[in-house]
């Protein structure tokens, strides 16, 4: 659509600007302020320069949490995206099945995140949980409270359970926008199932897939509540992701300086990723 | 000469297309349908995949519901696939104890407040982004996006200090305003997507007919994007409803959300599993209800209005 140049449009944006300034800019400035200062309590602050940043970037704890978080994000993307596409391809296209499938599949997305944690905490326990009990009954030693590997499996399965539906819904939206004529043409040409997927369905899903991958990456990169409720970051530190580590430092120990420095580094990484996302997407829009 | 050549090739191409069209029409509709059926043998079994997936999704939820109708003695003593002595005692506790049910009221209060604030602020902004170009519009739009992507953990501590300074800790409005951090950008994105689908000629015609901007916006434009407003409301509801970290940080007793109240079930006598499960089940209901109303638009909303 042709847009007209009009700087008065700023007045329409003003309410949003004020609101977001209050809930984003001021808090962020507080963080910047703390990140370069030290305190011994009683609101007495000293200039500390880049001390906290140097300490953070040389601390193995931060890098370990970062690596854990990246591994986690990549594992869940590798599972959720192909699985989501596969399920979306098998969804009914019309009839009564469509609303039923959509509503039931979207259900996990609307559960408060700590309740998701609670559900899996209970479900996976080997004394009172359906999953834990039967997995152990099958002779597999499974205990997410004590074994780091089992804790990881639980957290990953939980995330797949929680968020695969998002990928399914997005892919499905892309698929239903393909006109029937495309499929008919492919059938007449005798295209194989794979060719239909590769040359008709995948190109149509490109855009929604991009959104799905990036939303899932961002959200898994800032995951906090669900693993915190299930494992509390343990056993040991094995499931302590970046957000959990940050909250431990900031609200648990009230180490303002280190927490603020960590917040900023964390936020800058997210900012960089958002920029990549935005650029790729606007370029994609321009091509169309 | 070359002109004549071009014409003949074009004619060739035209006759080719008519030939293929004729072929296609010769293959009648039901022949095509039969071809499609033969190729898509697997289509008879299409329902297996969604059914298995939905069963997997519902199993943990069923387990929670199952537990909520059991007594603690039954939960701890043996693993039963359905409640052998069904009881609604857990639900009675929640609905009669003010410290429990006020959690639900608190949650709903700040979620609705946030929804109204976010959508009301986002409507004019989304209109500006969809209709006008102005100084710094792209940068502003990107900046809004970064707030949707901001980790709540980064903001938990500064929010606590900011709202303490204003004396807003433990009020509903504090949580509602804090959740604007990610809900306002989201609402702007979704509404902008829906508004761009409305042709600009409608605006121009209305202005020519002598409508003022506010009157045009409320009387003509808002009804046209009613579904978009519904979807934006739904997403604001959803993300405010599921968020806990910020809501928990900003509240202590008076505005404490239900999700935070649930941690109370750990007591000296051990875990009150039945009560925990019942509280969890009750948090599923609002989501399940609102989902029904927007079922056809969920995906469009998740794609930020851009499918």
**What are the distances in angstroms from CA B278 to CA A200, B261, B281?**
47, 12, 5
Domain boundary among B87, B117, B147: B87
List of E strands, chain B: 132-133, 266-267, 270-271
* Residue B3 to chain A, least CA–CA distance (Å): 33
Q: Distance between CA atoms of B140 and A82, rounded to whole angstroms? A: 34
Topology of the domain comprising A60-287: MetI-like fold (1.10.3720)
Which H or E run includes A69?
helix A60-89
CB B53 within 8 A of CB A105: yes
Asked whether residue B307 is assigned to any structural domain, the reply reads no
Which of B245-259 are b and which e, b meaning 16 or more Cβ less than 10 Å from the residue's Cβ? Answer: bbbbbbbeeebbbbb
Within 8 A of B50 by CB-CB distance, chain A residues are 87, 90-92, 97, 101, 105
B20 and B69 share a domain?
no
Within 8 A of A22 by CB-CB distance, chain B residues are 177
- Domain span at residue B17? 1-43
B18 and B3 share a domain?
yes
Tokens of A281: 């997407």
Dihedral of the alpha carbons of A154, A243, A108, A172, in degrees to the nearest 10:
-100
Chain B, nearest residue to A252 by Cα:
B157
Any CB–CB contact under 8 A between A130 and chain B? yes
| Cβ pair B151:A222 closer than 8 A | yes
Q: Which of A35-44, A174-183, B104-113, B222-231 has the lowest mean pLDDT?
A: A35-44
B222 and B250 share a domain?
yes
Number of domains in chain B: 3
B286 and B166 share a domain?
yes
B76 and B30 share a domain?
no
Which candidate, A164, A170, A160, places its Cα nearest to that of A211? Answer: A170
Asked whether residue B218 is assigned to any structural domain, the reply reads yes
Q: What is the pLDDT along chain B (307 residues), one digit of tens a residue?
A: 444 444 444 444 444 444 445 455 555 556 555 555 544 444 567 788 889 999 999 999 999 898 888 888 787 777 778 888 888 888 888 888 888 888 888 999 999 999 999 999 999 999 998 888 888 888 888 888 788 777 888 888 888 888 888 888 888 999 999 999 889 988 988 888 888 888 888 888 888 988 888 899 988 899 888 888 988 898 899 889 988 888 888 888 788 888 777 776 665 556 778 888 888 898 888 888 888 888 777 766 666 655 4
> What is the number of alpha carbons within 13 Å of residue A145 lying toward its C-beta?
8
**What angle is formed at CA A245 by the lines to CA A241 and CA A248, rounded to 5 degrees?**
145
* pLDDT for B288: 85
Which H or E run includes A276?
helix A256-287
B64 and B22 share a domain?
no
| B133 φ, ψ (degrees, to nearest 5) | -110, 135
Which candidate, A143, A109, A110, A107, places its Cα nearest to that of A124? Answer: A143
B255 and B123 share a domain?
yes
Asked whether residue B83 is assigned to any structural domain, the reply reads yes
* pLDDT for B32: 55
Asked whether residue B163 is assigned to any structural domain, the reply reads yes
* Residue B10 to chain A, least CA–CA distance (Å): 23
Any CB–CB contact under 8 A between B242 and chain A? yes
Tokens of B57: 């999704």
Tokens of A214: 């990036």
Any CB–CB contact under 8 A between A247 and chain B? yes
Asked whether residue B6 is assigned to any structural domain, the reply reads yes
Which of A86, A225, A273 is nearest residue B245 as measured by Cβ atoms?
Answer: A225
B36 and B114 share a domain?
no
Bigger pLDDT: B1 vs A124: A124
Asked whether residue B234 is assigned to any structural domain, the reply reads yes
B212 and B66 share a domain?
no
Any CB–CB contact under 8 A between A77 and chain B? no
Which candidate, A172, A152, A166, A159, places its Cα nearest to that of A90? Answer: A172
| Cβ pair B162:A110 closer than 8 A | no
**What are the distances in angstroms from CA B190 to CA B119, B126, B187, B195?**
10, 8, 5, 9
Asked whether residue B274 is assigned to any structural domain, the reply reads yes
| Cβ pair B60:A97 closer than 8 A | no
- Name the residue ranges covered by the structural domains of chain A: 60-287
* Residue B304 to chain A, least CA–CA distance (Å): 9
Q: What is the DSSP string of A182-205?
A: HHHHHHHTT--HHHHIIIIIHHHH
B53 and B129 share a domain?
no
* Residue A163 to chain B, least CA–CA distance (Å): 11
Q: If 0-12 CB within 10 Å is exposed, 13-18 middle and 19+ buried, where does residue A51 land? A: middle
CB A33 within 8 A of CB B169: no
Q: Is the model's pLDDT at A163 over the cut of 80?
A: yes
Within 8 A of A31 by CB-CB distance, chain B residues are 154, 157-158
**What are the distances in angstroms from CA B242 to CA A108, A151, A164, A223?**
11, 23, 17, 13
Name the one residue in this structure whose structure tokens are 């994007």: B225
* Residue B76 to chain A, least CA–CA distance (Å): 6
| B151 φ, ψ (degrees, to nearest 5) | -70, 125
B72 and B107 share a domain?
no
| Cβ pair A225:B238 closer than 8 A | no
Name which of B149, B291, B301 to mutate to probe chain A: the one with the most chain A Cβ atoms within 10 A of its Cβ.
Answer: B149
B211 and B233 share a domain?
yes
Within 8 A of B273 by CB-CB distance, chain A residues are 122, 128
Any CB–CB contact under 8 A between B161 and chain A? yes
pTM, whole model, 2 decimals?
0.81
Asked whether residue B71 is assigned to any structural domain, the reply reads yes
Q: Is the model's pLDDT at A164 over the cut of 90?
A: yes
């Amino acid at each position: 659509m042709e847009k007209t140049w009009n700087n008065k449009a700023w007045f329409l944006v003003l309410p949003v600007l004020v609101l977001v300034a209050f809930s984003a800019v001021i808090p962020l400035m507080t963080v910047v302020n703390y990140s370069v200062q030290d305190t011994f309590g009683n609101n007495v602050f000293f200039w500390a320069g880049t001390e906290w940043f140097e300490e953070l970037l040389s601390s193995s704890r931060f890098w370990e949490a970062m690596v854990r978080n990246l591994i986690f994000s990549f594992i869940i993307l590798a599972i959720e995206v192909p699985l989501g596409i596969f399920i979306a391809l098998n969804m009914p296209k019309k009839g009564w099945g469509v609303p039923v499938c959509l509503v039931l599949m979207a259900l996990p997305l609307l559960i408060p995140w700590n309740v998701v944690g609670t559900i899996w905490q209970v479900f996976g326990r080997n004394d009172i949980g359906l999953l834990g009990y039967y997995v152990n009954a099958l002779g597999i030693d499974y205990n997410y409270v004590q074994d780091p590997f089992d804790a990881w499996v639980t957290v990953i399965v939980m995330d797949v359970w929680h968020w695969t539906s998002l990928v399914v819904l997005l892919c499905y939206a892309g698929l239903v926008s393909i006109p029937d004529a495309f499929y008919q043409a492919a059938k007449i040409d005798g295209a194989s199932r794979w060719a239909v997927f590769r040359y008709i369905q995948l190109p149509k899903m490109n855009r929604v897939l991009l959104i799905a991958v990036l939303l899932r990456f961002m959200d898994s990169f800032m995951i906090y509540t669900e693993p915190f409720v299930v494992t509390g970051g343990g056993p040991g530190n094995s499931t302590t992701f970046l957000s959990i580590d940050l909250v431990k430092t900031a609200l648990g120990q009230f180490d303002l300086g280190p927490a603020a420095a960590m917040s900023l580094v964390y936020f800058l990484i997210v900012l960089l990723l958002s920029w990549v996302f935005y650029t790729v997407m606007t370029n994609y829009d321009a091509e169309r | 000469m070359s002109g004549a050549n071009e014409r003949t090739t074009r004619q060739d191409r035209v006759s080719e297309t008519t030939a293929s069209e004729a072929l296609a029409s010769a293959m009648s509709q039901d022949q095509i349908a039969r071809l499609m059926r033969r190729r898509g043998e697997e289509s008879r079994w299409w329902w297996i995949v969604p059914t298995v997936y939905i069963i997997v999704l519902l199993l943990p939820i069923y387990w929670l519901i199952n537990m909520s109708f059991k007594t603690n003695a039954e939960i701890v003593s043996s693993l039963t696939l359905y409640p052998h002595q069904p009881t609604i005692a857990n639900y009675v506790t929640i609905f009669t104890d003010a410290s429990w049910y006020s959690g639900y009221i608190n949650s709903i209060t700040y979620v609705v407040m946030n929804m109204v604030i976010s959508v009301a602020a986002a409507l004019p902004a989304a209109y500006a982004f969809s209709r006008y170009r102005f100084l710094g519009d792209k940068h502003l739009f990107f900046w809004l996006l970064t707030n949707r992507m901001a980790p709540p953990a980064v903001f938990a501590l500064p929010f606590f200090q900011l709202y303490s300074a204003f004396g807003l800790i433990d009020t509903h409005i504090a949580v509602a305003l804090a959740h604007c951090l990610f809900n306002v950008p989201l609402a702007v994105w979704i509404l902008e997507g829906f508004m761009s689908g409305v042709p600009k000629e409608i605006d121009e015609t209305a202005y020519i007919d002598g409508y003022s901007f506010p009157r045009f916006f409320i009387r003509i434009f808002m009804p046209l994007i009613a579904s978009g407003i519904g979807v934006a409301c739904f997403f604001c509801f959803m993300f405010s409803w599921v968020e806990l970290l910020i809501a928990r940080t900003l509240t202590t007793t008076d505005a404490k959300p239900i999700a935070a109240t649930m941690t109370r079930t750990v007591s000296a006598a051990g875990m009150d599993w039945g009560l925990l499960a019942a509280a969890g089940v009750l948090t599923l209901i609002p989501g399940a209800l609102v989902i029904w109303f927007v079922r056809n638009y969920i995906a469009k909303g998740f794609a930020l209005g851009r499918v």
